[in-house]
Chains A and B, each alone.
Chain A
Amino acid sequence: MPQKTMVEALNLALDQSMAADDRVCVMGQDIAINGGVFRVTKGLLEKYGETRVIDTPLAENGIIGTAVGMAIYGLNPVVEIQFSGFTMQAFDQIEQNMARIRNRSRGRYRASMVIRTPYGGGIRAVEHHSESREAYWAHTPGLKVVIPSGPRNARALLNAAIQDPDPVVFYEPKAVYRAFREDVPDEPETMTIGKANIVREGEDITLIAYGAMMRPVLEAAEDLVDIHHVNVEVIDLLSIKPMDTETLVESVTKTGRCVIVHEGPRTCGIAAEIIARLNEKAFEYLIAPVKRITGYDIHFPFFQVEQHYLPDPDTIIEAVKETMAYE
């Protein structure tokens, strides 16, 4: 199987989706001739032309709003917002129209579209280029929110998002973009939005994460198993909304202990939601309080100190050991 980076895998998903369905079009800033600032849309202009690979003016709210219009008309736009920090410019159209048009039109219209956008820290970027604000979109009724963690699931998840009849916010962990390669088959793969993936089975404790945080989590898991002899179960959430509560509950019912990791701010973050669901559905199985390792409730620090902000394997190991020690 061909080995691909996440960037290449996403490119493959777009390419194959566009080849398979001429309603699929991509739009965003610098995505056509430049192939996107991260090159995810590279080569698409040459193949599909400028009516389907659309360089837009520098206006995120305009991009999303017009994409919703195109979707109402029957197209299937896959929008790129250059950095997730700039989805904030489009809060208006995401919340007011993209998320609502189906309900407002009582099902007559739908916004079958995807917002692809790189999120997260760790690339030594300037301000506004490192945020993780998936909780905003998870909090918005009408949206789906998914976050892949590696090349193969990125490709499958993007296919699923494009085929989904409803609007999907597709967060791409930019720290993973070129971090490693994985086998990605040529034949199209998809996956069910709303299903988590048990990456590693274990009995002692459940570790839940998604996106770029899967890497420090898996690194920590290795040490926990090898050095600390803790048999961890690791779950990659993949879909933030809808969330695979069943898989999470099943796992924690088995282990009785849980640590959740995300890089976004703590208050009202995704971990808070997971804890609430475990509280509702697995309370009597919990042996220890569920811990969360998250970003802090501060603005993402400038890059000279960002490594201290981001959850790291040591901090995760500490949290697991503390949770294991709880009686």
Chain B
Amino acid sequence: MSSKTIETSATPPPVATNTPDAPIVETLSSKSSCDTPMTEKLIDLGEIQDISILNEDGEVNAALDPNLPKVELLKIHRAMVLTRKLDRRMLNMQRQGEMGTFAPGLGQEATQIGQIYPLQKNDWFSPSYRSFGAQLWRGWPIDQLLLLWDGFFEGFAPPEGVNDLPFSIVVGSHVPLATGIAMGMRNRNDESFVLVNFGDGAFSQGIIAESMNFAVVYKSPIVFVVENNGYAISTKSECQAGIAELARRGPGFGIPSVRVDGNDILAMIVASQRAADHARSGKGPFLIEAVTYRMSLHTTADDPKVYRNDDEVEAWEAKCPIARFETYLKKKNLLDDAAIERIESECEQEVLDAREVFRKKAIAKPREVFDYMYENLPPELQEQQADYFAKLDRKGVE
């Protein structure tokens, strides 16, 4: 429960150059100008805050507590519970053959809900594949997410009125799109911002570096969230990068950054709110590193026993983001065991109801595969489509 500082250079505690007010790009470039005297000196890369507000026992640092109103706290709690219920149910459905391969998000509920919390309807979100908690918050119907993970293309389409991109499977590939949207906002003096998330593994993709650089060069309103969940499939974060704190990469680009306990919903909200304010007020991009842990499988095709031991997983179980938030809410007299049980069964029911809707909608539509290739299907493709339809007719497929 602290807000400690990671030093990014060997200098004595430096004056932060990456505070929201400092013109980052100018500062750095002026320091590297070539008319400097012939001396050796240190370049100050600023400092990065590491934020934790709610500890594993549900104790809170009162000075840092955002003191959210009761309704908000309960809404957040419910979203986290719903995310977990859906996650568990999908795993169950997958194991019973009713769902394709999917990527469980167990343990990352606070990271998900915390990052999405400050977004308004007009803001944009470019998610990766382990983001369905945030997608639910944004208004994606559960049945649609089920369709998507069960191999129905229509599940990918963002619902009307939701400014989200279809989530990204090719890691990192969705990040420049987010930066581009933010550049568009900057062009149009739009006061919205863009949120984009990606994993510790994805952060090794060159395109993310390019996207961060564009964002800062064009001072665009975008918040980058790197969800450092310890692994990229079997690859531990320490084999992925030479630094433990991925937030350190922000200042290198001139992007202010914070590192957050990603299993601490209050810290996540504080950081995300700060990042959103920064982006909205025209100060350019912001980077959040959410430190969390992938409690479950990489995907349902993965066997983590090959590369990690149970002790490690158990140690993280004690850091459960939902349990500690519930302790906090109980201490505030906002929840008791009975209420938790009721919320859990309501969320479970919501998922089960959605599963029924999904089952009704889960009808393959093989005739649609050409429909969204072009605005107008070129004649040569119409010919291929006719061939394909003839094949379906021969097979007696609707």
Contact = CB atoms under 8 A, between A and B. Distances in A.
A325 interface: no
A125 B365 contact: no
Given A55-B235, A55-B239, A62-B204, A309 B369 contact: yes
B28 interface: no
Contact of B395 (A61, A125, A302, A314): A314
**Size range of the interface on B?**
35 or more
B369 A34 contact: no
Interface string A24-48: 0000011001110100000000000
Contacts of B388: 296, 308
Contacts of B206: 59, 61-62
A250 interface: no
A126 interface: yes
Pick from B129, B205, B207, B385 the residue with the most CB of A within 10 Å.
Answer: B205
Given A296-B370, A302-B153, A308-B392, A58 B170 contact: no
Interface string B149-167: 0111100100000000000
Contacts of A35: 306
Nearest to B241: A57
A122 interface: no
Contacts of A314: 394-395
A103 interface: no
A109 interface: no
A69 to B, nearest CB: 16
B370 A30 contact: no
B201 A58 contact: yes
Nearest to A36: B234
8 smallest A-B Cβ distances: which pairs? A34-B234, A303-B151, A57-B204, A58-B201, A305-B366, A304-B364, A302-B153, A304-B151
Given A298-B373, A298-B384, 18 more contacts: A29-B232, A37-B233, A57-B235, A58-B171, A59-B206, A89-B205, A125-B101, A129-B169, A267-B380, A296-B385, A296-B387, A297-B373, A303-B100, A303-B151, A304-B150, A304-B364, A308-B391, A314-B395
Interface of B: 100-101, 129, 150-153, 156, 169-171, 173, 201-202, 204-207, 232-235, 239-241, 301-302, 306-307, 364-366, 369-370, 373, 380-381, 384-385, 387-388, 391-392, 394-395, 397
21 contacts: A29-B233, A30-B232, A30-B234, A33-B234, A34-B306, A34-B307, A37-B301, A57-B239, A58-B205, A58-B232, A89-B170, A89-B205, A124-B100, A127-B156, A296-B387, A298-B369, A301-B366, A303-B151, A308-B395, A309-B369, A315-B391
